Amino acid sequence: MLGRLRRGRRTIRPRRHIKPAFAQPCTPIRRDERNDVALETGRTRLLISGTVLILGFAVVGVRLVNIALFQDALEPRAAHAPHASELRMGRADIVDRNGEILATTLQTASLFANPRKILDADEAAHLLVSTLPGLREAEIAAKLKSNRGFVWLKRNLSPRQQWDIIKLGIPGVEFQSAETRVYPHGPLAAHVLGYVDIDNKGLAGVEKSFDTALRSNAAPIALTMDVRLQHLLRIELMAAMSTHRAIGATGIILDARHGDVMAMTSLPDFDPNAQGRASDNQRFNRATLGVYELGSTFKIFTTAMALDYGVVSMEDGYDATKPIRVSRFTIRDYHAKKRWLSVPEIFMYSSNIGSAKMARDVGGDAQREFLSQLGLLSPAPIELPEVGTPLTPKPWRPINTMTIGYGHGLAVSPLQLAVGVSSVVNGGILNRPTLIHRQPESEASNPPPRGDRVMSEETSQDLRRLMRLVVAKGTGGKAAAPGYLVGGKTGTAEKARRQGYNRRSLISSFVGAFPMTDPRYVVLVVLDEPQGTTKTHGFATGGWVAAPVVSRIVEHAAPLLGVGPTDEQAPAVLRQLDIELKPEGRRLASY
Amino acid sequence: MKAFAAVVYVCLASVTGFALFHITYKVEQLEAQLSQLNKEILLEQNTVHVLKAEWSFLSRPERIDELSRKMLPGLHPLQTRQIGDLDSLPTRDIDFGGVGGVQQSAAPLAPYRPVSARSGSARTASARSVSPQATE
């Protein structure tokens, strides 16, 4: 091809008398048709191949410039330059609603030795023990003298200890770094947070239910809890537990409008930093996993149900003169008045007879329907793996309808009760309880799901007045926190044993809400097997042992929650919450 | 002419070569610096992370509660009667005539005087400043 081209070139400009180095003096070349055709062919071939070559080089050139100037210059360097965007730990933090760290992952160093490299085992052991007082010198010396290549000396050193050991400069002693899950608040929110195993895998609580998210995301998970409220709830429950020698206690503070769990405690608790030493009793989450017959607090639901279905009105009432006998059961009143009681009186004196009759008149099917709407017949939809399934009677006989009317025969978790009560007081909307805090900025684009209406606003308003009445004039007087308009209901249930109920072991509770004009928070306190003291005149009922705890919690929590005190005697408040009792009732209520 | 072109080309080539090597070395040096800085940033971030955990540990309500009991015996949990709102404050007739009126309204705050210049002891002065009820 090249030869042809050259020949062609030579023939293109025959008359210019260019003198090729090797050519003879120029001689005119004959032109004919055949030569012209060959010339044209050569010319076209030259043009095509030239264009192809230029295009090829142009592509290479453009790509070269592109790579050298415009490509991500960091890419090839990433291998040897550590990226300093954000520190990534193997497991994301868990924080409370204000960003306070509840669980975090720290790099810790563990100390090991290679005994074959140790020069003087006794001296090394002496030095190590002087730095780490927890170790025993003889044991360490024996380990360092052994003939192995690797012995653990101490796991999870603090940074300071690690530095001290580096300063000692003992040859053969080395560190291995690992990540450790740390709970700075110790047992404060143990049951909600849960704990992890030695490989940082979530085994309980939020650590388990959000295990995948915590492993894959760098962003912390924010809980709805508030450490200050949690602390308040915990110390008040601990104080009540030790005063009344109770075997356990549970407390919940719930946002009545959104279902946010602000604080949740189950006692006895444990330190998740040392979860291996916790007993099963300590690990047991009484707030969500435990199911209990919670007694008279259920009268809130019975009364709401009867009022909402229009079976009774606030002016109606029942005869509570005599105990009811149904087959082998007898339903008695604890605070027996032995007379006709109006609906508000049944509620404020916590009459079992009245509530049982009310439930009977509503009927079993309607009752089951109502309770299931309130979420009391299915496990609580909370983001924890430890959720108890309610114990419901099978079959649901008329006697069950009556006993459930005053809170026996149906066992639910304290959280379910708190959620149910929050829907009763917040205007009749059932909100799903949640532990995961919704950031205010995401609220606008992603509004929280609206709850379902479970009863009319009028019923909710009636129940607010009834619950306020219990604290103002009834069995829950000790729950009053002046200025915060606490309303609520006491509950005292005998614990079931194999045969019937045990009169000596009680579950005493109080569920309250404040301020009753427009309830914002629900507070539930449950004490397991409290004992009466001389101060409570030997009583261990909800009104005596749990109500005062609620009072103290409300008094201290309200300022933290931004709820200001109101004048309880203000005309507007009284108009909204006061209940006109029947003349007879008023006389009896005065003592 | 040809020789001149060759000289120019050789010069250009050597200048380009020199520039290339210079830039390469410079880049390597900067890369090393970047890597060092990134390492330091990571270390600092780790330290911040540890300090945050420590802060959380030191500021846990349990400890603050205990410390305030021990160190601040005069401080008690907030009582309901200590909380009020603006509407509950009594109104007072203040003459806002002119700029000076604003200063007059700030009268309750006594001007600061050094302790030595006061006739009373320093103890009563501090006691008065913490409990405003006592002064009114």
DSSP A360-391: HHH-HHHHHHHHHHTT-SS----S-S--PPPB
Q: Is the complex ipTM more than 0.90?
A: no
Do A216 and A249 lie in one domain? The reply is no
H runs (alpha helix) in A474-545: 542-545
Q: Which of B57, B24, B129, B80 minimizes the C-alpha distance to A554?
A: B80
Q: How far is B99 from chain A (nearest CA, A)?
A: 35
Do A186 and A296 lie in one domain? The reply is no
pLDDT tens-digit map of A557-583: 998 888 888 888 888 888 888 777 765
pLDDT of residue A142: 86
Is there a domain that residue A63 lies in? no
Find the CATH number of the domain harbouring A182: 3.90.1310.10
Mutate to test the interface with B, among A89, A185, A229 (most CBs of B within 10 A): A185
Which of A87, A185, A231 is the closest to B46 by Cβ?
Answer: A87
CA distance A89 to A214: 10
The single residue listed with the structure tokens 């609603």 is A97
pLDDT of residue A172: 85
Buried b / exposed e across A270-297, counting CB within 10 Å, b at 16+? bbbbebeebeeebbbbbbbbbbbbbbbb
A197: Cα within 13 Å, side-chain hemisphere: 6
Which amino acid, residue A129?
V
Contacts of B37 in chain A (CB under 8 A): 84
A296 is catalytic: yes
Q: Which of A359, A457, A459, A368 minimizes the C-alpha distance to A406?
A: A359
> What mean pLDDT comes out for the span B119-126?
40
Q: Classify strands A521-528 and A324-326 as parallel, antiparallel or unpaired.
A: unpaired
Q: Which of A497, A555, A502, A548 minimizes the C-alpha distance to A527?
A: A548
CA distance A288 to A189: 13
Q: What's the length of chain A?
A: 591
Do A216 and A256 lie in one domain? The reply is no
pLDDT of residue A483: 87
Do A210 and A260 lie in one domain? The reply is no
**CB-CB neighbours of A438 under 10 Å:** 16
CA distance A482 to A27: 128
Do A439 and A550 lie in one domain? The reply is yes
Find the CATH number of the domain harbouring A541: 3.40.710.10
Is there a domain that residue A28 lies in? no
**Tens place of pLDDT per residue across chain A (591 aa):** 444 444 544 455 555 555 555 555 556 666 677 888 999 999 999 999 999 999 999 999 999 888 877 766 555 554 455 555 666 778 889 999 998 999 998 888 888 888 888 888 888 888 888 888 878 888 888 888 888 888 888 887 877 888 888 888 888 888 888 888 999 999 999 999 999 988 889 999 999 999 998 988 888 899 999 999 999 999 999 999 999 999 999 999 999 988 899 999 998 999 998 888 889 999 999 999 999 999 899 999 999 999 999 888 888 888 888 888 877 778 888 777 788 888 898 898 888 899 999 999 998 899 999 999 999 999 999 999 999 999 988 888 888 899 899 888 899 999 999 999 999 999 889 988 999 987 766 656 666 667 888 899 999 999 999 999 999 888 888 888 888 999 999 998 888 776 667 777 889 999 999 899 899 999 999 999 998 888 888 888 888 999 999 999 999 999 888 888 888 888 888 888 877 776 554 444 333
User: Which one from A296, A350, A351, A509 is the annotated catalytic residue?
Assistant: A296
3-state secondary structure B38-55: HHHHHHHHHHHHHHHHHH
pLDDT of residue B101: 43
Cβ neighbours for A407, distance < 8 A, ≥ 6 positions apart: A293, A294, A295, A296, A297, A298, A299, A491, A493
Do A208 and A244 lie in one domain? The reply is no
Cβ atoms of A470 and A488 within 8 Å: the answer is yes
Do A182 and A245 lie in one domain? The reply is no
What is the enclosing helix (H) or strand (E) of A242? helix A227-243
Q: Looking at chain A from residue 472 to 511, which residues have their Cβ under 8 Å from any Cβ of chain B?
A: 481-484
- In B, what residues contact A, Cβ < 8 A? 31, 34-35, 37-39, 41-42, 45-46, 49-50, 52-54, 56-57, 59-62, 65, 77-78, 80, 83, 85
Do A431 and A536 lie in one domain? The reply is yes
Cβ neighbours for A362, distance < 8 A, ≥ 6 positions apart: A302, A305, A306, A309, A311, A370, A401
Helix (H, G, I), strand (E, B) or coil at A333: coil
Do A336 and A444 lie in one domain? The reply is yes
Measured CA distances, A196 to A21, A266, A281, A461 (Å)? 91, 19, 18, 45
Phi, psi values for residue A488, rounded to 5°: 180, -165
CA distance B46 to A106: 9
Tokens of B92: 């007072």
CA distance A151 to A148: 7
Do A526 and A584 lie in one domain? The reply is yes
Do A369 and A415 lie in one domain? The reply is yes
Is there a domain that residue A336 lies in? yes
pLDDT-derived band at B123 (thresholds 50, 70, 90) equals very low
pLDDT of residue A510: 94
List of E strands, A82-132: 94-95, 101-113
End-to-end CA distance of chain B: 106
Helix A398-405 × helix A364-373 angle, to 10°: 50
Q: How far is A384 from chain B (nearest CA, A)?
A: 24
Computed from CA positions of residues B108, B113, B114, B116, in that sequence, does the dihedral angle turn out positive or negative?
negative
DSSP 8-state assignment for residue A447: P
Domain count along chain A: 2
Contact at CB, B49 and A101, closer than 8 angstroms: no
Q: Please state whether the peptide bond connecting residue A548 to the residue before it is cis, i.e. omega within 30 degrees of 0.
A: no
Q: How far is B74 from chain A (nearest CA, A)?
A: 18
**CB-CB neighbours of A159 under 10 Å:** 15
pLDDT of residue A441: 62
| pTM over 0.90, yes/no | no
Domain ranges of chain B: 2-68
Cβ atoms of A487 and A516 within 8 Å: the answer is yes
Buried b / exposed e across A445-462, counting CB within 10 Å, b at 16+? eeeeeebeebbeeebbeb
Measured CA distances, A68 to A19, A65, A72, A91, B20 (Å)? 46, 5, 9, 39, 12
Helix (H, G, I), strand (E, B) or coil at B118: coil
pLDDT-derived band at B83 (thresholds 50, 70, 90) equals confident
pLDDT-derived band at B117 (thresholds 50, 70, 90) equals very low
pLDDT-derived band at B97 (thresholds 50, 70, 90) equals low
Q: What is the residue range of A185's domain?
A: 94-114+125-132+145-222
CA distance A222 to A213: 12
Mutate to test the interface with A, among B36, B76, B80 (most CBs of A within 10 A): B80
Do A580 and A525 lie in one domain? The reply is yes
Which amino acid, residue A334?
Y
